[in-house]
Structure 1
């Protein structure tokens, strides 16, 4: 109990010392405030960027393997220019894959997209929309968040029916009075009937993934409107084939090996020939994003640490001055029986208080910035970053205050009392 009482007394002495020199306290904690603000602000921006990009990639779904011309990661032993000679996936390959793939998948889909389209309904129009042609299992391999209406039927897919599922922005512009279901609109001279409206997503950093300006139609109808590219360069949109793995196969290795063998067989590749296709997974992008933002976060932390270093030197300097000013008081306290740890805690707590107040002010500034509305990049400060900022503040306080505190605790009471 005595140790607890003395510790609390140390807190009280430290707090009284800070209040007695309010101006000096404020000036001292500014350096820590700037340092914590810099570190937490960088981490908050990096976290928000990473979360935004990862959420933008959620439309792909998980456990997905895509057959494409270009890989998401270029290997160091494969010249990039050789990828130009690769063919793109075709509807014929999609049909053959449906026949040859085993039971290791939940769904197989082919899809392609064409951007920059203008949709019209009466006197209303909306520009720069994406027309996306999809097969029936597209909703299995990708996210199609339908708010109103329904998905395509197999008959609509096979019969190339002029039906469409439109994004929220398209529905708001073409049918401002509401009730888009069952209404008609035109795209590239073709009349479509709305059978579904997707949920509003809002702006994202990777706007290509947003469904708000997306119009989904049957793939068979899409191929009537656009000639698919066979090379991936001009001449029309390129198709992608995607396969959804089963939930009980978390590694997807069996499915990937099976897909590689099936595609090689379809394309007639000999055993010694290299693959002329890429099997891509969304986690490749997620891994690359994680590495990129890890480096950005490290650079930001290094930059912010310099500001913290300056703030730490400022706190240490003030603590040395404080010890010198209160040397006489320290001598009186020790002559009355104060223990060394009581004096040490008194100055150490003062340094920690300074850094905590400064760090708290820096965190508060970052939090106020996150309250500013942002469409493209909403900032979010997590509880983990708040805890990190407070822990860094305590660490700086301990480092900056430990030497002055030890010096104060080791003062000889007789010499200290005589100090002026």
Structure 2
């Protein structure tokens, strides 16, 4: 692919817009410490409230002899630490490609300490920002590096705690609210608020830094899937777990095939991809298979060959079938049921619309630019899924991105597939000199 430079007169950044952007950047850079303090404080409060609600839920369900709810709540306390320990262990094995029992056991033990590590990260942010809370100045280079390191680690831990616990709990809580009409579990309202806050906090952790308004699409996707699973569980009960497992295993196999093809293309060693096959499959199950219930990373190999559109189509079909099953077999056509139905329809449509538009308009080389920044600057987090994709797909920075980085940053639309098609059509349409048939007399 050839990317042509553009004249200065056609560059998108005009002087007045540049000066406005510099003023905004100056304001944000001068208030860095204050923003870190507020952000860390809010995240710590949300996290402590969630832990308090989790322990309270286990105690309440135990006293009410609600065995299934008690087991689910207890698993939500244990699973995040276990999965984080698995991630630490298998990621260490994949990166080093050699089995080092001491290093792997150390990583596993560190993973089990997820809850205290998470609290420590938030406290580190508070301590770091409180030292300069009254200083309205730009941070020094070493201070920025320290902040980005603390923030990146906090977001990594946040993903495990909030997704593998918050999502499951909010589905269970919505299910209870839709079934119980005698207000038996009145404390559920508070738990829903706490779980919703934790899920929103997780969205901040997994979102790409260039997502922007796309966050509305992912928020709607989370909401629609939570409602659909909760309402479907009223009809099919525990079979909802089997249905989710079928979905997860199917997507795990799909992503595993994509990963193996990518590794075989890039690796010079013939059997390297086979050696890391089991570890890769485990990581894909936890970080791509399970999350595929609610999301699909729009990056690297996962965005090629219309794969995001296939994901949206499958989710749309699943939502339609499950909510139709609930409304047809259980709904009493009461106002509450109508509200649930409208909520599912609105969130599903909004999610499909926003995510489809983003996929159609997204420049193709944005991921490679972010990967370049991660490789050669390593100062900022661009979303936890860049790290997951880096481990599973063994990502490489394309030579083209290294050579044309400045052009791609300023004019990312030049890398869009539509632009490349237009360039090819223009080249074909240009008149060329007639070739001489050497075989003619």
| TM-score bracket for the superposition, by shorter chain length | under 0.3
Name the TM-score, length of structure 2 as normaliser.
Answer: 0.21
Structure holding more helix per residue? 2
Higher relative contact order (CA 8 A, sep 6+): 1
Comparing both structures, which one devotes a greater share of its residues to strand? 1
Give TM-score scaled by structure 1 length: 0.22
Q: Larger C-alpha radius of gyration, 1 or 2? A: 1
